[in-house]
Amino acid sequence: MEASKRVDTIQPKPKPPWLRMPNPSGRAFFQTKRDLRERHLHTICQSARCPNIGECWNQGNATILIMGDVCTRDCLFCSVPHGQPEPPDPREPDRILELAKILGLSYIVITSVTRDDLHDGGSRHFAAVIRTLKRRLPELLVEVLVPDFSGRPEDIDRVLAAGPDVLNHNLETVRRLYPAINRAATHYDISLAVLRRAARSGSPTKSGLMVGLGETPAELETAMSELVNNGVELLTIGQYLQPTRNHHPVHRYYRPDEFRLLKETALRKGFRAVESGPLVRSSYHAEQMYRHRGGGGVSG
């Protein structure tokens, strides 16, 4: 599906009670917001309208979105704006370092928009951020949630060589639904290849799945098996929420008990830790997940 061929305008379904969150508030929330704004840093928490922003920012945790907040792809599940981004800012790694120091972080998650406009997909910038943090804050654990770099091994290797503690790349949904979310079907295998290459390098690997897009239980189990077979250790499972009327509609909302069953299934498949819940997102409880891998994780 071409980016210009959007889904029909569909009013998002009313959310069930377990998906209704209060407006974010609290002194720590607004302080984190100020700290980010003063350093001109973007977050996926804001760009992707994460429902956990209040909880995470009140704990001083924010997932940093590098290389701007405009994406070169136009996936039909994502609220990040699509367009022509600005060039990466070479001063950004130092600003992220300053934020990590001020917040006293022990764990940080770095992600990015997809930068198909750059010959290296932004892998050099990713590596610069990781190296800056590791050199100046050696005790800081760094998780990176990377795009697929169009499957180029040299770009994946460049990020891995910088020494992230976790390499995260989201599979997002089942193979059959890739065209429905405006992704080429071939990108499913590209994503698996990214994760396989990271696992073979010895890096702890992580991925995420959304549910509620129209997948079947059998398709979900197949996706889980393919992730495990490609070396993925950590898995997040969360409810897809339709950002606007122009995005892919929600097929259905999963109940909290269904997420518990999905977690049990995933652990049986062989994942070392699983976060599964209606509001779980890629970086939700990321540090706890990393430190408790092998113990089954904590359900969201």
What is the per-residue pLDDT across 221-246, written as a single tens digit (0 to 9) for each?
A: 999 999 999 999 999 999 999 888 88
Phi and psi at 255, nearest 5°, equal: -80, 155
Place of tokens 């949904």: 173
Mean pLDDT of 82-106: 92
Helices 186-200 and 153-161, axial angle in degrees (round to 10): 40
Write down the pLDDT at residue 17: 85
Write down the pLDDT at residue 265: 98
Work out the pLDDT band at 3, boundaries 50, 70, 90.
Answer: very low
3-state secondary structure of 142: strand
- The percent of residues above 70 in pLDDT, for the chain, comes to 87
Write down the pLDDT at residue 299: 44
3-state secondary structure of 273: strand
CA–CA distance, 182 with 77 (Å, rounded to integer): 9
What digits encode the pLDDT tens for the residues 31-63? 777 878 888 777 766 655 666 666 666 666 778
CA–CA distance, 78 with 72 (Å, rounded to integer): 12
Polymer length in residues for the chain: 300
Rounded to a whole number of angstroms, the CA Rg of the chain reads 18
Q: Which residue has the higher pLDDT, 82 or 58?
A: 82
Write down the pLDDT at residue 110: 94
What class does CATH assign to 21-291?
A: alpha beta
Q: Which residue has the higher pLDDT, 76 or 86?
A: 86
Please count the other Cβ atoms lying within 10 Å of the Cβ belonging to residue 169.
26
What digits encode the pLDDT tens for the residues 252-282? 999 999 999 999 999 999 999 999 999 998 8
Mean pLDDT of 137-143: 96
Q: Which residues pair with 109 in a beta bridge?
A: 143
CA–CA distance, 230 with 84 (Å, rounded to integer): 33
Q: Among 24-28, 114-118, 140-144, 174-178, where is mean pLDDT lowest?
A: 24-28
Q: Which residue has the higher pLDDT, 287 or 28?
A: 287
Write down the pLDDT at residue 2: 41
Cα–Cα separations (whole angstroms), residue 271 to 18, 194, 215, 233, 287: 26, 17, 20, 5, 16
User: CB neighbours of 211 closer than 8 A, spacing ≥ 6?
Assistant: 220, 237, 238, 239, 240, 254, 262
CA–CA distance, 17 with 202 (Å, rounded to integer): 41
- Tell me the domain boundaries of the chain: 21-291
| 8 Å CB contact between 206 and 233 | yes
The 8-class DSSP code of residue 179 comes to G
17 membership: H or E segment, kind and range: none
